[in-house]
Amino acid sequence: MIKFDSTEQLCFHDCNLVKILNSSNEINLHIENIYADDDKYSTKILLRNVDQIKKNGVIVDKIRMETDDGELYSFYEENLDIVIDVIWHKYSPNSEEFCTYLLEGKSMMVEVYDTTRSE
Domain limits at 39?
A: 2-118
Tens digit of pLDDT at every position of the chain (119 positions): 556 666 776 787 778 999 999 998 999 999 988 887 778 888 888 999 999 999 999 999 999 999 888 888 888 888 889 999 999 987 776 788 899 999 998 888 888 888 876 54
Number of domains in the chain: 1
Task: Give residue 64's pLDDT.
Answer: 92
Angstrom distance (rounded) from CA 105 to CA 119: 30
DSSP string, 37-106: TTEEEEEEEEEES--EEEETTEEESS---SSSEEEEEEEEEETTEEEEEEEEE-SSTT-EEEEEEEEE-T
Task: Give residue 119's pLDDT.
Answer: 44
Residue 13 is which amino acid? H
Task: Give residue 4's pLDDT.
Answer: 63
Is there a contact between 33 and 14 (Cβ–Cβ < 8 Å)?
yes
